[in-house]
Structure 1
Amino acid sequence: MQVKPLPETFYQQPTLKLAKSLLGKLLVKETPEGIASGWIVETEAYVGPGDRAAHSFNNRRTPRTEVMFGPPGLTYTYVMHTHCLVNVVSGEIGQPEAVLIRAVEPCHGTRLMFERRGTDKGVRDLTSGPGKLTKALGITKEDYGHPLTEPPLYIASGKDPDVISSGPRIGINNSGEAKDYPWRFWITDNIYVSR
C-alpha cells in the first residue's frame, strides 16, 4: 500500500472547515500485525473554549487535554466508556480545538479489522462508530500526541465527497445550546456513517 501522509499545512485551517476537509481522506494505522485503513466518512468538530461540548471548554487544561493546546495535526486519543476515541487536534497553538473521527469506510486490512473487533456482523458494522473504528484499525491511547503527518498513524489524501451533510453532534446532551450546533459532518448516503 503506497500512500503518503498529508502535510502539516493541511491541518492549518479553521476547525469547522477541517472537519469537512477530512471527509474522504484515508486514515491509516501501521502495526506489527499489518496495515489497516479506512476512508473517513463522518466527523464532529469541537471548537475549543467557547464550545460547552468540548473537553477544552473554558480553556480547561488537564493532562488529558494538554495535546489540544499544541499545534494542529496531532493525535488526541482518550478513553470513554471503555472505548478509545481518536481526534485530530486543530486550531492554532494555545487554541484547543479538535475534530473527532466518528466513522470510516474500510479500505485495507479488512480481515485484520474483523479479527480485532471479534465480530462477524458484516463489513457495514465494522467501523461505523468512533469506538469501533479505533479497535478495528488498532488505534490506542498510546497514539496520544502522535503527529498525523508520519507513520505509524497518519492521514493520506483520498477522494472528494460528492455531497456532505451536517447536523447536531451525538451524545452531548448535557452541553446546553452546544448540543444543537450542526457540527457533525458526514458523506451523504454513505452506509458506513454511524447513524
Structure 2
Amino acid sequence: MTEPSHLAAVRDSYDAVAADYVRLIIPPEEMDPVSRAMLAAFAELVRDGGGPVADLGCGPGRVTAYLAGLGLAAFGVDVSGEMVALARRAYPELRFVQGSMAALDLADGTLGGVLAWYSVHHTPPASLPAVFAEFRRVLAPGGHLLLGGHAGDAHLRPAEAYGHPVSFESHLLPAGRLADLLAQAGFTVTARLEQPRPERADRSYVCLLAYA
C-alpha cells in the first residue's frame, strides 16, 4: 500500500526536528492546570475500567511517562523513528513503537484508553474519519479517548518549525466539528473544554473526552 504523502511529510519533518522539539516543548509537569486536570481525569476513568493505554503521536514520550506516573499501563506510538528513539532512551522501562495512528498494529478492543495529545492536526480532514474509526476499533467497549489539540478554522503550511525546515501541514478544525467526527465514528463525547489563546483570537486549545 502506498504511504500517504501527508504521513511521509510528518515522519520526515519530526525526524528532523526531534532533538530541538524536546528542548523547546514544555514537559507535562509544567502544562497549565486545566490540561493537567484533563489528563488526570482521563487517567482516573481508565484506571476504573482497566486495560492498557496507547499514547498515539507520543513524540519523545514525556506524556506517555506522565500517564504511567498516574498509574496507567501506557505505551507510545509515533510515526517518527527519531522520536521513538528519543523516547526509548529517556524511558527504557516503557514501550514505544514506530507506527501510524491510522493503521495500528493492535487487535480489536484491546485498549482501555487512547490518548491523542496534539497529534491529529497534521491529518487532512478527509482522513480524520478513518483515523477516529481506528481509535474506536482498538478500544474495548467503554474504553476512553482523550483528544487534545488545536481548534480553529485554518490550513497552515509552515516552512519552518522548531528551528528546522518542515514539510508537514496543519489542519485546524472547530471543536464542534471534531466532536461531530468522533460521534460519527461511534464515540460518545462526555466533555468538551476550550481554552482561548490570547495571542491568537481565531484559535483555541481544545480537549474532548469520549468513550467507545
Which TM-score applies when normalising by structure 2? 0.27
1 or 2, which has the higher helix percentage? 2
Q: Which has the higher contact order (CA 8 A, sep 6+)?
A: 1
